[in-house]
Amino acid sequence: MSVPVAARWVGEATGHLDILDQTKLPARLEWLECRDVATVVEAINSLRVRGAPAIGIAGAYGLVIAAGEALRGQFSPDKARAHVLARGEDLASARPTAVNLRWAVERALAKLSLVAADTPAADLAALLLAEARAIHEEDQRLCAAIGRHGAAILPAGNILTHCNTGALATGGIGTALGVITTAWDAGSRFEVFADETRPLFQGARLTAWELVERGIPVTVLCDAAAGHLLATGRIAACIVGADRITANGDTANKIGTYSLAVLAAAHGVPFYVAAPSSTFDLSLASGADIPIEQRGAAEVLAPLGVPAAPAGAKAFNPAFDVTPARLIRAIITEHGAIDPVTPARIAAVLARH
């Protein structure tokens, strides 16, 4: 069975980026063809591509498109480099909370320091494409490793998850959802409960779609029903992804994650986070330092375009919240599980690799 792909590069250095438009799922499977940086930035802003690793990959490919713009404009080498750097900042700042986006863009841009200042745009495009592909392929390997490590420690029984952390959110099989599918493929049998994940329903539209496609039993629930479900004793573990993890283990993830972690703790259910090492931002001491993206009111007042509140009402719409490290049983990375989640343990695991 094929695993869905969030983004794919078509052609060589003068090619383009195809993004699977996740705003159309599950009703329609449509690809958005990106031939200019503005289209990539809009796709990231509008959540046509989403998930921390996936937007990082899209950002890296966006730099190749920037070099292609300079090539088509017949820019001189110095103007081409300046254009790529400027478009790089546009890409890196498209969404502020997920650290993988800026990480991937800056990693790719660092390659420019290795070549001469008079390097033409065509060569810059080839160099950036090689790095973007390396980031994409690396994420595939990281997801597979996270899946193996997570499946080895996930308790037997049903699983509750939040938002979407599968192939649609990454370059590989996923992080938290990759753990779930790896455990299933290894022979474990369970039911997955997926929070619908308001206001844009990534759990209902995307996670449930991925699981149905893979033949894994899935039940969708309103976010507000999670506490009741946990109280029934039917859930053995909760597992989610992450958009940024600080030096002390505080974790930013889709809004509603913090509430789920508090509920899991109240009912004695272990709460796991799965994320690659690139999601750690050790420059931040704690979750209090994480910038939280505020999104438009329409997502709350008229979700999926359906009016749900009276004219004149206001909306509070943070895209993410922060789960304190004390509520997390373990953070599952490509290097293994960080358990307990402490600054010393995080530093030790990440320093070894």
For residue 174, give the DSSP letter: B
User: What is the torsion angle, in degrees rounded to the nearest 10, for the CA atoms of residue 252, residue 257, residue 260 and residue 261?
Assistant: -10
Instruction: Give pLDDT, residue 204.
Output: 98
CB neighbour class for 302 (10 Å; exposed up to 12, middle 13-18, buried from 19): middle
| Terminal C-alpha separation, the chain | 33
Q: What is the mean pLDDT of residues 91-119?
A: 96
Report the distance separating Cα 170 and Cα 42, nearest Å.
Answer: 18
Cα–Cα distance between 171 and 188 in angstroms, integer?
A: 24
Q: What is the pLDDT of residue 1?
A: 56
pLDDT band for position 353 (50/70/90)? low
Task: Please list the residue range(s) of the chain that carry CATH number 3.40.50.10470.
Answer: 149-351
Longest dimension (CA), the chain: 66
Q: What is the mean pLDDT of residues 130-135?
A: 98
The pTM for the full model equals 0.95
* Active site (catalytic) residues: 243
pLDDT > 70 fraction of the chain, expressed in percent and rounded: 99
The pLDDT > 90 percentage for the chain reads 98
Instruction: Give the pLDDT mean for 303-329.
Output: 97
Q: What is the mean pLDDT of residues 174-182?
A: 98
**pLDDT higher than 70, residue 229:** yes
Q: What's the topology of domain 7-141?
A: Four Helix Bundle (Hemerythrin (Met), subunit A) (1.20.120)
> What whole-number distance in Å separates Cα of residue 343 and Cα of residue 196?
32
Q: What pLDDT is recorded for position 3? A: 77
Other Cβ atoms less than 10 A from the Cβ of 142: the count is 23
- What's the pLDDT score for residue 228? 98
pLDDT of residue 10: 98
| Cβ within 8 Å of residue 96, ≥6 positions away | 291, 293
Q: Can you name the CATH fold of 149-351? A: Rossmann fold (3.40.50)
With bands split at pLDDT 50, 70 and 90, how would you rate the model's confidence at 33? very high
| 189 Cβ neighbours under 8 A, 6+ residues apart | none
The pLDDT of 83-94, averaged and rounded, is: 98
Contacts of 185 (CB under 8 A, 6+ apart): none
Q: Residues 245-268: pLDDT tens digits? A: 999 999 999 999 999 999 999 999
* pLDDT at residue 351 tops 90: no
Residues of the chain with CATH 1.20.120.420: 7-141
The token pair that represents 5 in the structure block: 């792909």
Q: H/E element holding 56? A: helix 52-72
Contact 5, 167 (CB under 8 A): yes
Inter-residue contact 189 to 155 (CB < 8 Å): no
Count of C-beta atoms within a 10 Å radius of residue 70: 24
- Say how far apart CA 114 and CA 128 lie, in whole Å: 12
Closest CA to 294 of 275, 321, 272: 321
